[in-house]
Amino acid sequence: MTDPWPASGLDLHIDMDPADGRRAGLERALRAAVRSGRLAPGTRLPATRRLAAELGLARGTVRAAYDQLITEGYLTARQGSGTAVARLPAPVPVRGTGEAPDAPRHDLRPGSPDTSAFPAAAWLRSARRALGGAASEVYGYGDPRGRPELRAALAGYLGRARGVPARPESIVIVNGYVQGLGLLARVLGGGAAVAMEDPGAAFYREVVRRNGPSVVALPVDERGARTDLLGPDVDAAVVTPAHQYPTGETLDPGRRRALTGWARDTGGLVIESDYDGEFRYDRRPVGAVQGTAPDHVVYVGTASKTLGPALRLAWMVLPEPLVEPVAEAKRYDDHATETLGQLTLADLIESHGYDRHVRACRVRYRRRRDALLARLRGFGLPVHGIAAGLQVMVSLPAGGPDERDVREAADARGLALGYLGDRWQEPGDRHPQGLVVGYGRPPEHAYAAALDALSATLADALPAKV
């Protein structure tokens, strides 16, 4: 008896309409799968004998269907290589249909590291070590708080490198900062009011709103967030003390004390996003606020800026009363973060490969920052946030060319930038205008050309400053 599910071969789902007949039905089903993209170019098809057995068809019927589709150009066949899906000509794009825009030629948007610098060799070594000796239970369902190996490694690293006192039991691993912020907002509940920095990332404000709480604007000036304005009507405050996004300001020591004093006096919760906090260029990285008030501050860190956002690995150090509510919310959100990346990152930290990578990135990004500042110097524009991070903010002169002028000149050169006007909670002409220029995103070989495009863009938009 032929086994309908053999141990070898290729699986192929075919949805045939019996009304079409056997051969015509198979042809129609394969043709539709290729046209829709469900069978991608280059996909190998099962051998005719195997597919015939699985579908209950004669082998000659399958061979005839394959031959017809080869003739029509949907499939290809080579001796010794079997039958595969052909590469069809790409359709001509139709303008105005809402398709995704092309990637910019030069990308100086903030918010991303240079992903070409991902430490692939070190990551693979850690993966081999971590998985080579892993027990079989690591491939099962995980704890919503995360793997104990990673929580233990982070407890040591964060205390040593970021001044964050943490026990493994107080750490919850999440799928990026966005999930962590959403879980905290959900635990706070629909009646809560959350203060968020203004200007700030509009996407994060929306994450909080969609999980229940209302959002209150927390103004930012040259000394960072105005934490001295927090009052008892606010339940939580989301801040980026090490390097505010997008202004780049570091939270003033007096404001840090005002922040923790507000939390102690009112029972409010501080949510500290350590946005690119590892990258400090003028002195050692500024320690986390959490270290001065661990019972009132949630510390949120992420691998997105140090390694890459594709990993979807972040961590929250929580006050003890919040650990179980957050873990329970995560259980019903996605059950648990994937395990293999957690084990690999734990080994990378324990072997100090993570430290070596961060230090190398710090040198690379400082060199990029210095090159950017050299280009900006000739335009006479104030530059903020140069001491740390992966971006600077460039103020535009009041009454002079505005963001729209720069955007038009940048678009003409295929240059993507960030704009301060997009970051205000209530957009409008009354706000200061500026550019948010990231220097982390381009790969090394493309950075000089991106700076050339920036210089030319500013020369076009600000001719009097050249």
Tell me if 168 is assigned to some domain.
yes
Which of 353, 374, 394 marks a domain boundary?
Answer: 353
Provide the edge-to-edge strand list for the sheet that holds 383-384: 383-384, 391-395, 434-438, 418-419
Kind and range of the H or E element at 411? Answer: helix 403-412
* 131 in the same domain as 29: no
Select the more confidently predicted residue: 236 or 427. Answer: 236
Tell me if 205 is assigned to some domain.
yes
- pLDDT category, 409, cuts 50, 70, 90? very high
User: Averaged over 67-88, what is the pLDDT?
Assistant: 84
Q: Token pair 């699985």 is at which residue?
A: 54
Kind and range of the H or E element at 224? Answer: strand 224-225
392: domain CATH number is 3.90.1150.10
* 129 in the same domain as 67: no
Tell me if 59 is assigned to some domain.
yes
The pLDDT, as a whole number, for residue 398 is: 77
Tell me if 450 is assigned to some domain.
yes
* 371 in the same domain as 322: no
**Lowest mean pLDDT segment, chosen from 80-89, 195-204, 371-380:** 80-89
Percent of the chain at pLDDT above 90? 68
Per-residue tokens: 98: 């809402």
* 317 in the same domain as 449: no
- pLDDT category, 229, cuts 50, 70, 90? very high
The pLDDT, as a whole number, for residue 101 is: 52
* 345 in the same domain as 296: yes
The pLDDT, as a whole number, for residue 285 is: 66
User: Averaged over 66-70, what is the pLDDT?
Assistant: 88
What is the pLDDT of the chain when averaged over all its residues? 89
Residue type, 448: A
Number of domains present in the structure of the chain: 3
Q: Which tens digits make up the pLDDT trace of 184-211?
A: 999 999 999 999 999 999 999 999 999 9
Does the structure show a pLDDT above 90 at 79?
no
φ/ψ of 365, rounded to 5, equals: -75, -30
Tell me if 97 is assigned to some domain.
no
158: domain CATH number is 3.40.640.10
User: Averaged over 407-432, what is the pLDDT?
Assistant: 88
* 214 in the same domain as 327: yes
Peptide bond just before 232 cis, omega within 30 deg: no
Instruction: Identify the top-confidence range among 32-41, 90-99, 309-318, 389-398.
Output: 309-318
> DSSP secondary structure string, 55-75?
HT--HHHHHHHHHHHHHHTSE
* 290 in the same domain as 223: yes
Q: Which tens digits make up the pLDDT trace of 13-43?
A: 888 887 778 888 899 899 888 888 888 888 9
Decide: 392 and 372 in contact? Cβ < 8 Å. Answer: yes
Which of 353, 373, 407 marks a domain boundary?
Answer: 353
Q: Which tens digits make up the pLDDT trace of 136-189?
A: 999 999 899 999 999 999 999 999 988 899 999 999 999 999 999 999 999 999
User: Averaged over 302-323, what is the pLDDT?
Assistant: 96
Alpha-carbon span 184 to 207, nearest angstrom? 10
* 193 in the same domain as 68: no
Domain that holds residue 174: 118-353
Does the structure show a pLDDT above 50 at 54?
yes
* 317 in the same domain as 212: yes
47: domain CATH number is 1.10.10.10
Does the structure show a pLDDT above 70 at 406?
yes
The pLDDT, as a whole number, for residue 344 is: 97
Alpha-carbon span 415 to 297, nearest angstrom? 39
**Lowest mean pLDDT segment, chosen from 66-70, 94-98, 177-181, 331-335:** 94-98
Alpha-carbon span 274 to 61, nearest angstrom? 62
Decide: 305 and 127 in contact? Cβ < 8 Å. Answer: no
Tell me if 12 is assigned to some domain.
no
The pLDDT, as a whole number, for residue 93 is: 47
- pLDDT category, 9, cuts 50, 70, 90? low
User: Averaged over 310-323, what is the pLDDT?
Assistant: 97
Does the structure show a pLDDT above 70 at 260?
yes
The pLDDT, as a whole number, for residue 167 is: 96
* 255 in the same domain as 243: yes
* 373 in the same domain as 344: no
Tell me if 318 is assigned to some domain.
yes
The pLDDT, as a whole number, for residue 21 is: 85
Per-residue tokens: 16: 């045939």
Which of 304, 320, 353 marks a domain boundary?
Answer: 353
Tell me if 5 is assigned to some domain.
no
Does the structure show a pLDDT above 90 at 414?
yes
* 169 in the same domain as 57: no
Does the structure show a pLDDT above 80 at 6?
no
